[in-house]
Structure 1
Amino acid sequence: MRARLSLPLLSLPLAGCADMQSALSPQGPQAERLAALFWAMTSASAAILVIVVVFIGLALFGPARLRETLSADAMVVAGGVIFPVVTLSALLIANFALFGRGAEARMGEEPIRVSVVGERWWWRVAYRLPDGGGFETANEVRVPVGRTIELTLTSADVIHSFWAPRLAGKLDMFPGRQTTLRFAADRAGVSRGQCAEYCGGAHAMMAFNVVAMAPADYAQWLRGQAAPAPAGDARARAGRDMFLSSGCGACHTIRGATAAAALGPDLTHVGGRLSIGGGVLPADRASIAAWIVDNQHIKPGNQMPAFDTLGADRVAAISAYLAGLR
């Protein structure tokens, strides 16, 4: 029995080995430089540790003449001053070489610009199109492979921090101030990100996805997102009417319907996203229904009230409508 119980317990640390949010599994040039710097500093630290342990051992247990030599003033200066200055200077030079002015130039010239606003406790993402139009999405940043992306980051309330470890380092977001983060994705795939600055009660559930797509797929996605929500069949229109009559339009926008509020996430194409609730649940019908009724249990402290008095039929109709908005 003890052996059967110990195996699951020993496997728990492996749960943190997935590479979807690992800085050690870089998917872009900036993250690759960060990983290279990490390994350089880790290797240097390990080598220094070995050297220090060896010298401590020699100083304690070595021959008397060697111990006398190690205790001389010259050795103290060499080990306590010269050696740290040389090693730290080498690491500083390596940092400048990896992240100097030339690093930005290697990522390309004309970036795709996306605006991200951190809010309690979700991410508002806005795209501006060449024709002057634009659209908003939430908790998801989609980018084309091979292009430099420039994120304009700010906060609507408290200090947040945008961190997608597989693509770039983290950057803080301040109310009333804009910061800029540049990165690029080398291959298609999904990278998970997280708010890296404690921002209140639901901070741990303030996640997002960065979806890198082939350029043709990205262009098609842009066109689809810029369009209004589909009208759908009679069942979908009934769900839309229940959405509006239940007061959901007081907080959310659905382009193509009469809902045009901006307090909460834009739901125009919510069914096509990977998740809802800031990365908490998949964006399917059952999860949307659960979120409507019991979101405070799912994500305690979030800014949306629980609509647990709507009735099962109304919740089913609204969730089916939202899941169909792709």
Structure 2
Amino acid sequence: MVARVLSRRRGREIVHDANELHIPAGRPIVLELESGDVIHSLWVPRLSGKLDMIPGRRNLMRIQADEPGVFGGQCAEYCGGPHALMGFRVIAHRPAQFEQLMRFRMARQSPDPAPAAPSAGEALFESAGCSACHRVAGTAANGLAGPDLTHVGSRRSLGAGILPNNRGTIMGWIANSQAIKPNNRMPAYANLTAQQLTDLAAYLETLQ
């Protein structure tokens, strides 16, 4: 649930993200809810009631944060093994700050006309097969099986809200996410060396 988040602004511009939803405070927001697998239920207790996410159907939910802040959310429908560890955050910004954030993220998603040579971590991201499952806007990585990593470096948490986002937790998640959150879709990469894990984490931290 909440693997992919598309933030739409005026003109239908889209910012891709995952497990975090950024909204302007003081404005009503309509969420379009879909599921690609089983029935989930989106619940942000301080902003809304619960609404199901049903495969093959799109439901609409209206939320509004009256003041800036961070609001915890949770899947409220049992959906499989990692259900209890399936959370997310809604971050409400002052309107001017929200517009600034969206402009920054749209710019970061645009392909670089003259890309620099890839770092060790970026090259490993491609060669290890990460790009087959994850999308990074502005690059050749366009996988849809896992969460969008376009802005992963700026997220507050990993693993749908269960870990703080820092280099150590990124490395641990890549090495063996199953030990942290059993039955998630990410395979363990026990074959990677400590240096390779460091290089991958350093690259992901640059994705703001």
TM-score of the two chains, using structure 2 as the length reference: 0.92
One of 182, 189, 192 as aligned partner of 1:307: 189
Counterpart for residue 91 of structure 2? 211
One of 43, 55, 71 as aligned partner of 1:191: 71
The answer to whether 1:293 aligns with 2:175 is yes
Counterpart for residue 43 of structure 2? 163
Identical-pair percentage: 49
Counterpart for residue 54 of structure 2? 174
Cα drift, residue 235 of structure 1 = 10
The answer to whether 1:141 aligns with 2:21 is yes
Gap runs ≥5 in structure 2: none
- Rate the CA distance shift 1:289–1:236 in 2: closer, same or farther, 3 A: farther
Cα drift, residue 309 of structure 1 = 0.6
Q: Quick check: which has more Rg, 1 or 2? A: 1
Query: Which amino acid in the other structure matches residue 284 of structure 1?
Result: N
Query: Which structure has the highest helix share of the two?
Result: 1
Gap runs ≥5 in structure 1: 1-117
Query: Which amino acid in the other structure matches residue 288 of structure 1?
Result: I
Q: Distance in 2 between matches of 1:235 and 1:283?
A: 26
- The size of the alignment, in residue pairs, is 205
Counterpart for residue 271 of structure 1? 153
Partner deviation per Cα, 1:225-257 (whole Å, 9 max, x = no partner): 2223698xx897221111111110010111232
Counterpart for residue 246 of structure 1? 128
Equivalent residue of 2:55, what SS? coil
The answer to whether 1:261 aligns with 2:143 is yes
Q: Distance in 2 between matches of 1:127 and 1:143?
A: 8
Cα drift, residue 268 of structure 1 = 1.3
- Rate the CA distance shift 1:238–1:256 in 2: closer, same or farther, 3 A: farther
Query: Which amino acid in the other structure matches residue 297 of structure 1?
Result: A
Partner deviation per Cα, 1:156-208 (whole Å, 9 max, x = no partner): 11110000001111111111111111111111110110000000000001100
Aligned partners of 2:3 and 2:148 also within 8 Å? no
Q: Distance in 2 between matches of 1:255 and 1:154?
A: 21
Cα drift, residue 310 of structure 1 = 1.2
The answer to whether 1:222 aligns with 2:85 is no
- Rate the CA distance shift 1:198–1:301 in 2: closer, same or farther, 3 A: same
Cα drift, residue 211 of structure 1 = 0.4
- RMSD of the TM alignment (CA)? 1.9
Counterpart for residue 21 of structure 1? none
One of 284, 305, 317 as aligned partner of 2:199: 317
Aligned partners of 1:155 and 1:173 also within 8 Å? yes
**Where does structure 1 differ by over 4 angstroms across 4 or more consecutive aligned residues?**
none
- Rate the CA distance shift 1:235–1:282 in 2: closer, same or farther, 3 A: farther
Query: Which amino acid in the other structure matches residue 205 of structure 2?
Result: A
TM-score of the two chains, using structure 1 as the length reference: 0.60
Query: Which amino acid in the other structure matches residue 3 of structure 2?
Result: W
Equivalent residue of 1:227, what SS? helix
Aligned partners of 1:236 and 1:321 also within 8 Å? no
